[in-house]
Structure 1
Amino acid sequence: MFFQAVLLTLLALLPMVNPPTTATLLLGLSKGMSREHVRRQINLAAIYLLVTLCVSFFIGSSILDLFGISIPGLRLAGGLIIGFIGFRMLFPAPPQAGETDANQSIAFVPLTMPSMCGPGTMALVISGAAQIADLPADSPRLTIYSGVVTAFALMSLLSWGVLKLADPVCKLLGETGIDAMTRIMGFLLVCMGMQFCINGIKEVAQDPVFHTTPAVQVEHKSASSTNQAIE
């Protein structure tokens, strides 16, 4: 059961976390940063990914309920953040005198959130936690929880290894190649952000809570009855 939980969790998370996409994003954001600083950001991103996955798994649903945040709202917020970051990469602001981004922290935003652990990943983890909580009482929940957390650690380790490969690729591309990669990734991030927003709007439109047809029908019937009474 332990190894089954590890395998299933890894297979579900791998396409959602998608470390190669984050490695490409890192290439664009690490322009002008020292190699040591980039390595530090990679290490922190892997740690943040593990912590974010565990928090989403154990108390993510409670946090969303506490602040009244829905999954469509999470998708819309993530889409806006991704679109904003992509727009800044596609149309970078001209450097000002004395301004430097060499020590900018990119480990948590945007590498961890919303790139590796975005709205889709968080929704997947939260729904998985809900399914485990609904298992029968005699199920080996401790074993399953241990397998899921182990899978989170392996996913973070795998992401760390993929991000490490961005450093030699950065040396190979050079400054011109990195600038071109930055603008391409900026355009793709804008598209991804818009798609997240579209998915969130679709979920809102399909949510029966937001359909007020019965209430509208009641209002129409009440208005008709009032008019008839007046007549």
Structure 2
Amino acid sequence: MDFKALITLLAVVNPLSALPFFIHYTEGYTKEQRRRTIMIAARTVFIVIAASALLGLHLLAFFGISLASFQVGGGMLLLTSALSMLNAQPAEARSNASEIEDSAARASIAVVPLTIPLLTGPATMSTVVIYADKAHTVLQHATLIFYGAVVALAVLLCFTLAERIARRLGKTGINVMTRLMGLVLAAIAVEIMSDGLVQLFPALAGRS
């Protein structure tokens, strides 16, 4: 399992792009409430990635979906996320205004909408499943799950330093970082789609 999987996960989760939402949702929270929200969000990110790595392929088999088809679909989803990021929007954000207001009114927003779908949504799950298929040994699967822990740690660190990072980077700085990650993600998405298309249509690679 190479570092491309880790880079892809960091790009699609992109905790920096979620900082403004985290600051907005936790406005008025005490230090303890904010700390608890951060811990729950980081744990949920890890759980989603680990569950996708361990169970994703079994779910595909259950529904009779080929990995090649999933690669094309997942790649398209990643590309959509990348295009959103290139416009400086959160990669996984899919909530409308009423849903955001309703979620913000809940006692805890750590899981919904902060972690799902803002941090880990369909694009993240698709990415993990695609890389899980490339893991052929227990060590490689363990490495993928470890990458999930690294991403969760990145979320923990970003949210803990949220106000400092926001002050340092400013809105423009966060937008620039988001666009750079979006560009990286777009290139990876095209590569994933091309792998799936070649498996579905071998003639594309000059094979019969």
What TM-score do you get using the length of structure 1 for normalisation?
0.57
1:117-196 to 2 correspondence within 5 Å?
117-125=127-135, 127-128=136-137, 154-167=146-159, 168=161, 170-171=165-166, 172-196=168-192
The answer for unaligned runs of 5 or more in structure 2 is 27-33, 90-95, 105-111
- Give the corresponding residue for 1:45: 45
Q: Does the CA-based 8 Å contact 1:46-1:159 persist in structure 2?
A: yes
1:217-228 to 2 correspondence within 5 Å?
none
1:114 aligns with 2:123: yes
- Gap change, CA 1:108 and 1:99, over 3 Å in 2: closer
Q: Does the CA-based 8 Å contact 1:19-1:163 persist in structure 2?
A: no
Identity %: 15
- Gap change, CA 1:198 and 1:182, over 3 Å in 2: same
Q: Does the CA-based 8 Å contact 1:20-1:162 persist in structure 2?
A: no
Q: Does the CA-based 8 Å contact 1:44-1:107 persist in structure 2?
A: yes
Structure 1 position 44, deviation (Å) = 0.9
Q: How far apart are the structure 2 equivalents of 1:23 and 1:165?
A: 17
Q: The residue matched to 2:74 in structure 1 has which SS?
A: helix
1:87 aligns with 2:83: yes
1:197-216 to 2 correspondence within 5 Å?
197-206=193-202
Q: Does the CA-based 8 Å contact 1:45-1:111 persist in structure 2?
A: yes
- Give the corresponding residue for 1:32: 21
- Give the corresponding residue for 1:220: none
> How many residues are paired up?
172
Q: Does the CA-based 8 Å contact 1:27-1:166 persist in structure 2?
A: yes
- Gap change, CA 1:156 and 1:106, over 3 Å in 2: same
Deviation track 1:57-83 (CA, whole Å, cap 9, x = no partner) reads: xxx24x323322111111111111111
- Gap change, CA 1:122 and 1:154, over 3 Å in 2: closer
Q: How far apart are the structure 1 equivalents of 2:124 and 2:195?
A: 17
Q: How far apart are the structure 1 equivalents of 2:12 and 2:70?
A: 23
Deviation track 1:130-181 (CA, whole Å, cap 9, x = no partner) reads: xxxxxxxxxxxxxx6xx78866664443332233233337343222211221
- Give the corresponding residue for 1:99: 97
Q: Larger Cα Rg: Structure 1 or Structure 2?
A: 1
- Gap change, CA 1:158 and 1:64, over 3 Å in 2: same
Q: Residue 21 of structure 2 aligns to which amino acid in structure 1?
A: G
- Give the corresponding residue for 2:109: none
Q: Does the CA-based 8 Å contact 2:9-2:124 persist in structure 1?
A: no
The answer for unaligned runs of 5 or more in structure 1 is 1-11, 129-143, 214-231
Structure 1 position 203, deviation (Å) = 1.9
Structure 1 position 45, deviation (Å) = 0.4
